[in-house]
Amino acid sequence: MNLDDLDWQVRHYGGVSPRVVNALLRHGYVEELARAAVHRPDWFCARAAAEQLGAVGGSERAWAVLEPFVRAGWAPALEPAVDALVACGRSCEALGLTAPDGTADGDRAHARALLRAGRPDEAFELLSPHLAAGRLLPALAELTAGQGLDERVLAVLAPLAEEFRRTGGGSRHGWRVLVVQAEVLERAGRAEEAIARLGADVAARRHGPENTATRYAELLARHGRLDELHRLATGPGRFAALEVHVRALVAAGRAAEAEALLRAGVDSGRHLPLHRGLLMDLLARQGRPAEAVAVAACTFESAGDNLLQDAVLLLAELGHQEWALRLLAERSPEFAAENAHWMPSNRWWLLGELGRGREALAEVGTADLDPVERACTVVALLTADDRFEEAIALIPSCTDRTAEAAGTVAVRLIERGRPVEALALIPDLTAQRAESDRRWAAWRGSDAL
C-alpha cells in the first residue's frame, strides 16, 4: 500500500472515483466494495464499505477492511477504525491506535477514541488547547453528538463565542464558534436561544468565509419560523437566505407565496439571475415547464447571466430531453459559435439519453474535435447505448483520460448488474497517477511554448 498514491487519490478523486463508489452503493454492492478496498487497495472503497458494514452491525468486518490502511499509517483511516473497534467492544485497542501528538488532526483522532471509550474528561482536556484557534470547533460538536455532553460543550463554547463577538477577531477559523454554538444549542433543545444568538450575529454581520446568514436561514426553516425567514430573505441577507426561504415555503405547501416572492424580485429589475433562476426551477418542479422556460428565455442569447444550460439540464432531469434539444437548436449561429465549448456536447448527451446514439455518433464523426475529446465522447455515447464491448475497446484511445472513460463505462455496467466487470475496468492508483503526471507534463510543455 503506497501512502503517496492514497494521498493522490484523495486530492484528485482518483482510483475508484466517488461517482463509481456511489453507483455501487445505490445498487447494494457492498461486498464488491469491501473486496476492492483490500485487493486494489482503494481508500474510497474502504471508507464506503466500512461505513455501510458498520451501519448493519458488521463492525468486525468494517475493521477488517480498515485495518490494512491503519497498519500502513494512513491517517484518514484512524477515526472510522476507532468507531469500528469501539462498536466491537474493543475500546482498549481503539485507544491504542491513536496517540496525542499536539497536532489538531492527531489530537482529534485520539479525542474521538477517548469519547467513544467513555472518557470525556480526558477528551475535553486534549481538545481544549486547539479550540481557541477555531479549526476543531466543528469536530467538538460532531464528536460529542448524542453523548449527553451538550451542556458541557456549551460551557466550553460560551467564552469563546463572547470573545469573538466582543473583538470580531482572533484566528481565521474563530468565526466558526458562532454557528457551532447555535448547532449545539439547537440539539440541546434550546432552539429559541440558538435563533436569538445567531440572529443577533447575522444582524451585526459577524461571519467568516461562510456566511452565517445561510446557517441562520436553515435554522429558521427547521423550526418553521417563516415570517422571520421572509424578513431575512428580503433584507440585507437575501442572497444567503432566498433559496432556503423558497424551499421552506414549498415544503410548507405555500409554493404560490414562493412564486410571488420570486416574481416580485424579477419584476424589480434587481438581482435578476438569482430570482429568475430560482423561479425557473420552482415552476419546472411544479409541473409547469413551459412557464419555466418562458421566465428564462430572455437570457438565452445573453453574454452574461445566461440560464440556457441551466434550463437544458433542468428539462433533461425532468424527462424533457426533446424540449432541451429544441432550446439548443433555436440559438442563433453567432451564439452557437461563441458557445461551441459546451453546446454540441450537451446535444450529443441528450441524443444519447433519447436512444439516438447513432445520430450523435454520426455528428461526432464530422465535428472538429481533439482526438482525445472525440474518443471520450464516443465512449460515453456507446456506453449509453449499452454497446460495452465497443466502448471498452476504445478506452485506450482516450490517452490521458482513460480513467475518466473507464469510470463512465463502469457506472453503466453497475447499473446493468455487472459490478465485477466494472471494477476490473478501472486502472489502479499507480497507473492513474502516472497518467495524471503525463497529462500535467504535457500541459506545462505546451504552456511554455
**Interacting residues of 33 by C-beta distance below 8 A, sequence separation 6+:** 21, 24, 25, 45, 48, 49, 52
What does the block give as the cell for 175? Answer: 468565526
**pLDDT score at 166:** 86
pLDDT tens digits, residue range 253-262?
Answer: 999 999 999 9
Whole-number mean pLDDT of the chain? 91
pLDDT range class, residue 439, cuts 50, 70, 90: confident
**pLDDT score at 237:** 63
Exposure b/e, 51-63, CB count within 10 A at least 16 = b:
bbbbeeebbebbb
CATH 1.25.40 fits 340-444, yes or no: yes
Phi and psi (nearest 5°) for 74?
-80, 105
236 pLDDT higher than 80: no
**pLDDT score at 31:** 95
Cis amide linkage into residue 427, ω under 30° from 0: no
pLDDT tens digits, residue range 128-178?
Answer: 888 887 778 888 899 899 889 999 999 999 999 998 888 876 556 678 899
Sign of CA dihedral 398, 401, 403, 405: negative
Name the packing angle between helices 78-87 and 59-71 (round to 10°): 150
386 pLDDT higher than 60: yes
What is each CA distance from 416 to 193, 260, 316, 413, in whole angstroms? 51, 44, 21, 5
Please report, rounded to a whole number, the percentage of residues in the chain having pLDDT higher than 70. 97
**pLDDT score at 274:** 87
Mean pLDDT of 86-100: 89
Contact in structure between 69 and 43 (CB atoms under 8 Å): yes
Helix, strand or coil, per DSSP, at residue 250: helix
pLDDT range class, residue 205, cuts 50, 70, 90: confident
**pLDDT score at 171:** 58
pLDDT range class, residue 245, cuts 50, 70, 90: very high
pLDDT tens digits, residue range 270-282?
Answer: 666 789 999 999 9
Calculated CA dihedral for residues 133, 138, 139, 144, nearest 10 degrees: 120
Lowest mean pLDDT among 54-58, 87-91, 268-272: 268-272
What does the block give as the cell for 417? Answer: 448488474
Residue in 162, 171, 166 with CA at minimum distance from that of residue 136:
171
pLDDT range class, residue 320, cuts 50, 70, 90: very high
Mean pLDDT of 409-433: 95
Residue in 301, 298, 303, 302 with CA at minimum distance from that of residue 279:
298
Mean pLDDT of 366-394: 93
What is each CA distance from 306 to 282, 298, 402, in whole angstroms? 17, 9, 32
pLDDT tens digits, residue range 286-308?
Answer: 999 999 999 999 999 998 889 99
What does the block give as the cell for 386? Answer: 449499452
Contact in structure between 164 and 206 (CB atoms under 8 Å): yes
**pLDDT score at 415:** 97
447 pLDDT higher than 60: no
**pLDDT score at 102:** 82
**pLDDT score at 227:** 94
Cα separation of 44 and 26, whole Å?
A: 15
98, amino acid identity: T
Please report, rounded to a whole number, the percentage of residues in the chain having pLDDT higher than 90. 69
130, amino acid identity: H
Cα separation of 213 and 182, whole Å?
A: 12
Residue 227: CA count within 13 A, CB half-sphere: 0
